[in-house]
Structure 1
Amino acid sequence: MTDAPGAGSRPAEAAVRARGLAKTYGKGAAAVRALDAVDVDFQAGRFTAIMGPSGSGKSTLMHLLAGLDSATGGQAFVGTTEITGLGDKELTLLRRDRVGFVFQQFNLLPMFTAEQNITLPVELAGGQVDREWFATLVRTLGLEQRLAHRPSELSGGQQQRVAIARALIAKPDVVFADEPTGNLDSRAGAQVLSFLRRSVRELGRTIIMVTHDPAAAAYADRVVLLADGRIAGEITDPTPEAVLAGLDALRSLEAPVDGDQTDAADPAGATGTATRGAGA
């Protein structure tokens, strides 16, 4: 992890970062601490997956980093902008201009064609579509023959590719993907994940993805592991096997023996470099 950007660290400046980020739901005896003072950086031009057992705080972390939910404590930054200090209007503008979203539900407008769905964010913002960038996205995502089709005329994988192009059309600083293959079969899911990775490697985008699937996480450059609302380790150059081993180690630590609650900074040797497997 990198420290807050300074004069000597600008080349490694994070696209997104959290400092002491916390979220508590409810009050008093019913309070649930979903995120507990998290410090983490996400580098620009990288594909990062966030994983953890059910209830570990992975979706909460993504929602706070994306400005979709408010933090109880700490700070979240997109670039050098502290989003935890923004008002509703400023957050709306930031999400419109600097952040893209891909969800499990495709959220395409059924009356619009694929092309109209892709260009909608730019047009709603009153901007001009960069046709060269549009052509690059369409070509990279293999949508050239589908632009005139409406969502009902597209497969699930094609709809998700349209959603990815829509998320990228405004050239956001970062794209957040929340279980983007959750509604797809394995073949379509693999295609979508390949396109997400290509958007990082060939188009220079930054993607942060929440997933529960070790095979999906293996497409990323790095996996950040959460447990009990805290960062519990990371895996670089992940393989499905390394991710599964890390998750198994986290689950084994959820019920500590004899009150031992030692922090799992490196579950099952997860931190470090592993040879990339099926996701290569």
Structure 2
Amino acid sequence: MDTTVYVPAGDPAPAPDGSGRAVRARDLTKTYGRGEAVVRALDGVDVDFEQGRFTAIMGPSGSGKSTLMHLLAGLDSATGGQAFLGQTEITGLGDKALTRLRRDRVGFVFQQFNLLPMFTAEQNITLPVELAGGRVDQAWLATLVETLGLSGRLTHRPGELSGGQQQRVAIARALIAQPEVVFADEPTGNLDSRSGAEVLSFLRRSVRELGRTIIMVTHDPSAAAYADRVVLIADGRIAGDISDPTPESAMAGLDALRTLEPAVTTGTSTRTGA
């Protein structure tokens, strides 16, 4: 099935770097303030994220996990180092190129659903493609609707949907342009436990059945357990790596970070690096 949604104007997107890495950071640094008041939100981070995988970034409050996601997604600028999306060094792009990259190659899911209340679910899903002047691929839309369990909800407005259904609409919107990577920032933060579990299951299905790449920031070990891998971060540095996480192993890793002990790792664990 041809699932091409549209071809953006301008140069074609660069191909993946050939190593299976969708996103990578090298010596990535972010500081705030100056002199004695300087705060190092990220301190020389080296990390890779594989294509076609669901990866969670987890750490205590203030550890730098959201800062890392924002830099990798081109939502904020780095103080030093490099961030790459495929072959593209996004830390070297200007504002216009960053805007085009975020529109054409990246999807976003946030804690707030950010749906337009006057639009139907279907209109909210297809909005990014239409704003870009593209043509919606109806076959791909149908695949998303089926995978995310939104059949029968497309004509409903956000106010007529539950929180879990609204977040599923937001996920479909993030996927409609078939981005290389979807970044999810605490996507279940505003949901009850049942709706949150449903949304996380749909994110995992998006990876396993649709071949997407998802990077999710979370503080919740139960949410992290839906991922294929957990990257642990503390004090702005990569502190460990958990393969095939469970709620228990994710909690153990988080507890180790909170007590300033060496991070717990399970499964096939590797330290990140250049």
Provide the TM-score with structure 1 as the length reference. Answer: 0.89
Which amino acid is the alignment partner of residue 221 of structure 1?
D
Partner of 2:118: 111
Q: Secondary structure at the match of 1:144?
A: coil
C-alpha contact 1:234 1:272 (8 A) present in aligned 2: no
CA distance in 2, matches of 1:10, 1:163: 29
Q: Secondary structure at the match of 2:152?
A: helix
1:1-280 equivalences in 2 (<5 Å): 12-253=19-260, 264=262, 267-268=263-264, 270-273=265-268
Q: Return 5+ residue gaps in structure 2 as ranges.
A: 1-15, 270-274
Alpha-carbon shift at residue 271 of structure 1 (Å): 4.3
CA distance in 2, matches of 1:153, 1:10: 43
C-alpha contact 2:30 2:41 (8 A) present in aligned 1: yes
CA distance in 1, matches of 2:118, 2:235: 42
Q: Secondary structure at the match of 1:109?
A: coil
What is the number of residues matched between the two proteins?
254
Q: Secondary structure at the match of 1:148?
A: coil
Change (3 A) 1:80 1:212: same
CA distance in 2, matches of 1:191, 1:199: 12
Q: Secondary structure at the match of 2:62?
A: coil
Change (3 A) 1:135 1:42: same
Alpha-carbon shift at residue 272 of structure 1 (Å): 2.8
C-alpha contact 2:227 2:244 (8 A) present in aligned 1: yes
C-alpha contact 1:19 1:37 (8 A) present in aligned 2: yes
Alpha-carbon shift at residue 27 of structure 1 (Å): 1.1
Deviations 1:82-104 (A, max 9, x none): 00000000000000000000000
Instruction: Provide the identity percentage.
Output: 83
Alpha-carbon shift at residue 10 of structure 1 (Å): 5.8
List, as ranges, runs of 4+ consecutive aligned residues in structure 1 with deviation greater than 2 Å.
Answer: 9-13, 271-274
C-alpha contact 1:214 1:243 (8 A) present in aligned 2: yes
Alpha-carbon shift at residue 251 of structure 1 (Å): 1.2
CA distance in 2, matches of 1:26, 1:11: 38
Alpha-carbon shift at residue 252 of structure 1 (Å): 1.2
CA distance in 2, matches of 1:12, 1:185: 38
State the Cα RMSD in Å.
Answer: 1.3
Q: Secondary structure at the match of 2:44?
A: strand
C-alpha contact 2:181 2:213 (8 A) present in aligned 1: yes
CA distance in 1, matches of 2:267, 2:123: 43
Alpha-carbon shift at residue 11 of structure 1 (Å): 5.0
Alpha-carbon shift at residue 120 of structure 1 (Å): 0.2
